[in-house]
Amino acid sequence: MIVMKFGGSSLANAERIRHVAGIVKAHLDRQPILVLSAMGDTTDHLLGAGETALKEGRLSFQGIIDLHRRAAEDLQLGEGSMQEITSLLDELRDLLMGISLLRELTGRTRDYLVSFGERLSVRIVASYLTKEGLRAHPLDAWDAGFLSDSNFTSAELLEESWSLIPARLLDPALEGSLPVVTGFIAKDEGGNITTLGRGGSDLSATMIGASCGAEEVQVWKDVDGILTADPNLVKKARVVDTISYEAASELAYFGAQVLHPRAMQPCIKTGTMVRVKNSYNPSVEGTRIMPAQGGKIPPIQAITSRKNVTLIDIVSSRMLGQHGFLGEVFTIFARGGISVDMVATSEVSVSLTVDSHYDLAQVRRELLGIASVEIKTGKAIVSIIGDVRRSSEILSRTFRICELLGIQVQMVSQGASKVNNSFIVDQGEAAEVVRGLHEEFFEEDPDSPKGVK
């Protein structure tokens, strides 16, 4: 059995859905379970409609209606499915009406709102597959065993899901049918709809794959796989053929928007292979994500950069030979609900980075009570995902490139994950550094296998 997950851009319209049906048919012998995202940018549009209802008190979701109706008509779905789609769209209208009247949009309501994207897409696709002669069966995540906590907008799946999901999806009653499951959403114990965070349908797919003992989880995207660098920055970026779960997670977190950062977690537990494939280019092998194989991994697998980073330098002579100082610092960040990404410390200072979207006013005030603080915005994290056991070589070549480019490295950290060397530069310099490093590690010898020079 395999899991096949299709993202929004693979399901953008009727034509893309027909294409996806073709890919699914080609894999029927492997008894797929499908996991789907919302069609195209529907999640963004739903959030937009929610904001308009909240701020302007009016309904604006004609685009969402048109996209789904048009796809359903174009795919010539039967009367029954048209009715189901209409009734979901009516429910959506009622919800938006409620938001516009109450002028209130909590995390809980927002999750209910965005759930319509996936609920609509599984019905449209399953109905089309049925029309094509497959025994497809649309399932909302809660009917497929997805039980989460109540942390709306970025819920975590509860441990029970590990047994609930296979109990539902491997139920003999479903034998011989093709389950089409909503990605991204779940329900909490109170029966409220939750979501697993943006891009969360990857996690839905890996969770099904890991808990049901799938042979592999195929994540179908609109790119050929995980690339050695962002192709918008580096023309010669190429597909990485094999990468470890840890490296893939670091890549996801530090800027490569290929997979949801938490998506690897279920498969790390079970060793289930994940394969990133391109629905626009299905014959390409894609990237295999699997347990690290000692020794075989090239020194560098990918380079990524993440912008909108703020660097905070905290200096205090009180830190000298003291205990508890770092504890105080991190408590201040924790109280502010601020996630710290990179950290480096010396005897009298600690530097750390956070995403720039956080408001740091309160944290700054509290930090000033114990140290001197400097906050520098407009930074970028450049991450080199590779084998940290070869970090001396990697770092010496990296710093030589930075020196040649005249770029000042402002902080360095080597992750305990053993796959990530990261450093901070000015945001405006990130693209140049990534290009320089890509050339250094991947381009000089075009005949060498990936990354090995």
Q: Where do contacts with Mg ion occur on this chain (CB under 5 A)? A: 8, 37, 43
Cα 348 from chain centroid (whole Å): 37
d(CA 87, CA 99) in angstroms, rounded, equals 19
d(CA 384, CA 248) in angstroms, rounded, equals 12
User: Of 47 and 54, which has the nearer Cβ to ligand ASP?
Assistant: 47
Give me the least distance between CB of 141 and ligand ASP, in Å please: 11
Using alpha carbons, select from 144, 230, 222, 220 the residue that is nearest to residue 187.
144
Using alpha carbons, select from 217, 201, 200, 221 the residue that is nearest to residue 209.
217
Binding mask 145-184 for ligand ASP (x = CB under 6 A): --------------------------------------xx
SS3 sequence, 133-158?
Answer: CCCEEEECHHHHCCEECCCCCCCCEC
Q: Largest Cα–Cα distance in the chain?
A: 75
d(CA 243, CA 230) in angstroms, rounded, equals 16
Stretch of residues binding ligand ASP (CB under 6 A), selected from 36-44, 92-100, 222-230, 348-356? 36-44
Contact 269, 210 (CB under 8 A): yes
Q: With H, G, I as helix, E, B as strand and everything else as coil, classify residue 441.
A: helix
Contacts within 8 Å (CB) and 24+ apart, 341-344? 341/309, 341/381, 342/381, 342/411, 342/413, 342/422, 342/424, 343/413, 344/411, 344/412, 344/413
Contact pick of 33, 38, 125, 309 for ligand ASP (by CB under 6 A)? 38
Give me the least distance between CB of 119 and Mg ion, in Å please: 14
Contact pick of 198, 364, 376, 450 for ligand ASP (by CB under 6 A)? 198
User: Of 10 and 413, which has the nearer Cβ to ligand ASP?
Assistant: 10
d(CA 379, CA 313) in angstroms, rounded, equals 13
Contact pick of 199, 209, 386, 436 for ligand ASP (by CB under 6 A)? 199
Residue 141 buriedness (CB in 10 A; 0-12 / 13-18 / 19+): buried
Residue 242 touching ligand ASP (CB under 6 A): no
User: Of 40 and 145, which has the nearer Cβ to ligand ASP?
Assistant: 40
Residue 201 binds which of ligand ASP, Mg ion, none (CB < 5-8 A, kind-dependent):
ligand ASP
Residues 117-136 contacting ligand ASP, CB under 6 A: 117
Rg (C-alpha) for the chain, rounded Å, is: 24
Give me the least distance between CB of 252 and ligand ASP, in Å please: 12
User: Of 37 and 218, which has the nearer Cβ to Mg ion?
Assistant: 37
Give me the least distance between CB of 83 and ligand ASP, in Å please: 24
Contact pick of 4, 6, 7, 136 for ligand ASP (by CB under 6 A)? 7
Give me the least distance between CB of 8 and Mg ion, in Å please: 3
Give me the least distance between CB of 117 and Mg ion, in Å please: 8
Residue 183 binds which of ligand ASP, Mg ion, none (CB < 5-8 A, kind-dependent):
ligand ASP
d(CA 355, CA 330) in angstroms, rounded, equals 15
The CB density around residue 63, as the number of other CB atoms within 10 Å, is: 14
User: Of 199 and 298, which has the nearer Cβ to ligand ASP?
Assistant: 199
Residue 203 binds which of ligand ASP, Mg ion, none (CB < 5-8 A, kind-dependent):
none
Residue 200 binds which of ligand ASP, Mg ion, none (CB < 5-8 A, kind-dependent):
ligand ASP
Binding-site size for ligand ASP (CB under 6 A) equals: 13
**b/e map of 152-189 (b: 16 or more CB within 10 Å)?**
bbbbbbeeebbebbbebbeeeebeeebbbbbbbbbbbe
Q: With H, G, I as helix, E, B as strand and everything else as coil, classify residue 244.
A: strand
Contact pick of 201, 304, 305, 310 for ligand ASP (by CB under 6 A)? 201
Cβ within 8 Å of residue 97, ≥6 positions away: 53, 59
At 106, the amino acid letter reads: T
User: Of 180 and 329, which has the nearer Cβ to ligand ASP?
Assistant: 180
Stretch of residues binding ligand ASP (CB under 6 A), selected from 37-45, 47-55, 226-234, 387-395? 37-45
Contact pick of 10, 43, 182, 287 for ligand ASP (by CB under 6 A)? 43
Residue 8 touching ligand ASP (CB under 6 A): yes
d(CA 147, CA 16) in angstroms, rounded, equals 31
**Which phi and psi angles does 450 have, rounded to 5°?**
-45, 115
Residue 225 touching ligand ASP (CB under 6 A): no
d(CA 275, CA 272) in angstroms, rounded, equals 10
Give me the least distance between CB of 200 and ligand ASP, in Å please: 5
User: Of 264 and 384, which has the nearer Cβ to ligand ASP?
Assistant: 264
Residues at the site binding ligand ASP, with contacts judged by CB under 6 A: 7-8, 37-38, 43, 117, 183-184, 198-202
